[in-house]
Amino acid sequence: MARMAVTLIEAQKWDAAFSLIERYSLTELHGRFLREALYPALASGRTASVKRWLTFDAAHPSAAITALGRAEIAYREGRFAEAEAIADAASHALGSDEEMLFAALFLAGRAAHTGTMPESALAHYQAARRAARNVDEECRAVLGEIGAAADLELPSTLDLLSAVRQRIPRDRLDLMTVWISRSLWCDARFARPIDLDAGRWGYQLLSQVNDPIARTAFRNLFSYMLVQAGAVDEARAVLSAQREEAESLRLTFVEMYADHVDALHDLVIGDLESAHERLERLERSALASMDNFLLSNVISFRTRLLVACGRFDDAVATSYSSHGPTAKTTIAEIQASRALAFACGGRGREAIAEANASANTSQASEVLVLGMAAVAVVAILEAHPDAPRLAEEALSAALYHRVIEPFLTACRGCPELCAILFRSQAHGNDLRWLTSIAKDLARFEPAGEPSASGTWKDLSPREQEVLSLVALGMSNREIARHLYISNATTKVHVSHILAKLGVRSRTEAALRAPPRATPPAQ
């Protein structure tokens, strides 16, 4: 029976081989079987089969290959901390000459990186590079190292990216595809213009990538960048392929990351209700799996969603929500989102302080554009003479870095930002392109003045509350006291209402309120 089982293993008849091992208790072959079958089975999405194979070896639960299999299952189910711990323990149980040592170290690095522990990921990947037995493994380890180093924004990252490019064999299109994803990641982390054409080329090469984790990681990153660049239809097609593979391979956590990109998509196009619903679901999923990256991104996205809805005080409060360990870029993004909330709420000094703090924390493109948009909004609301120039610089940065969502959110939170740019007429084509994506901003398109077609339904819920009180004859101070908000925030809401309705006075605005529009009791 043992000889027959070996023959079946060599022929890659995994189910038949395991059936013999299980029926005749061929424990001495189980380790070899797992070494041969584990990764082909995972690549085809057979996680249920792998789980059954792993339970057979209950008499030897500490066996390194069994532990590695358990770590791979934990990773695919989104339990990244557990996957790192098991893989790291397995690497210490393996001798330096063991062929599975690289796999254990590489998995530990991948789990730590996905679990937002870039320092640990970097150490694991560097150890994997030292354990590499060939150029293939060396390049894979270095590519992983680049991802962690980019999250830490280490100055050596770009040199490492350039060096490994020369080491990748010409016929290894799979490694070249991973290199492209790392290059895109570095574009975003180091404020370089994102090379979407390189991304499109890499996307066409995904069929050459055997590792499903590498394929889904590429799609997730590429779809996110497509949305940020305004290529929303193209992004939807990539996301559709992503969800199809995630379902077929039972990659639970990949579905959550697709939801993350979908939430960004809704923010970009201005479907704020859908964005809210997606963030609620994403938060529940991230809490269940203890995914700190997604939890911190929910805070960042929700802060900007509230800014877009005109709920500036709520946005500031949300930005201070607690989250677990996360990358410095995400921390800076939350700071910059808070800066925008302060700016749109008329708290200019606090906005500038937060924008400066975020710039000192990270140089990432999203952080840069958010900070510039916040500064422009402060200048507009304070009627600073440099306001038109700062608005143009914020728009130019968003277009250059291909990161439009922060700018669109700033326009929703401060409609004067969009209006002032239309008045300048220097960026007419760019603005018309943006409003073709974010159709809720199209009211500002007619040469310089907001459209007079704005209605009660165009206002955010908070703005409707404020307008209801304006219609009752309340002053800004009385409104602030009634809604428990600052006087400055009330002034900003009134300014936004006038801009959205296309009117010049509070009296004209009050006439747009529906009959008996009464705010909720406080």
Digitized pLDDT (tens) for each residue of the chain, 522 residues in all? 888 989 999 999 999 999 988 888 888 888 889 989 999 998 888 888 999 998 886 555 547 888 899 999 999 988 999 999 999 999 988 776 677 899 999 999 999 999 889 999 999 999 999 999 999 999 999 999 999 999 999 999 999 999 999 999 989 999 999 999 999 999 999 999 999 999 999 999 999 998 999 999 999 999 999 999 999 999 999 999 999 999 988 888 899 999 999 999 999 999 999 999 999 999 999 998 888 889 999 999 999 999 999 999 999 999 998 767 778 899 999 999 999 999 999 999 999 999 999 999 999 999 999 999 999 999 999 999 999 999 999 999 999 999 999 999 999 999 889 888 887 777 778 888 998 899 888 766 654 444 445 788 888 888 888 898 888 888 888 888 888 787 777 877 888 888 788 777 787 788 778 875 555 444
* pTM of this structure: 0.81
Instruction: Spell out the domain ranges in the chain.
Output: 291-448, 458-512
Write the DSSP assignment of 469-522 as a string of letters: HHHTT--HHHHHHHHT--HHHHHHHHHHHHHHHT-SSHHHHHHHSPTT--PPP-
**What CA–CA distances, in Å, run from 419 to 338, 345, 410?**
23, 18, 12
Angle at 424 between CA 401 and CA 409, to 5 degrees: 45
Q: Which of 431, 369, 353, 319 is nearest to 188 (CA)?
A: 369
pLDDT at 442: 72
Helix (H), strand (E) at residue 393:
helix 387-401
Give buried/exposed letters for 410-449 (b at 16+ CB in 10 A, else e): bbbbbbbbbbbbbebeebeebbeebbebbebbbbbbeeee
Spatial separation of the C-alpha atoms in residues 501 and 361, rounded to whole Å:
39
pLDDT at 327: 80
Domain 291-448: which CATH number of 1.25.40, 3.20.20, 2.40.30, 2.30.30: 1.25.40
Helix (H), strand (E) at residue 163:
helix 157-167
CATH code for the domain defined by 458-512? 1.10.10.10
- Reported for 490-493, long-range contacts at CB under 8 A and 24+ positions apart, including other chains, are 490/466, 491/346, 492/312, 492/344, 492/345, 492/346, 492/381, 492/414, 493/310, 493/462, 493/463, 493/466
Q: Phi/psi at 25 (nearest 5 deg)? A: 50, 50
Q: Which of 124, 119, 55 is nearest to 83 (CA)?
A: 124
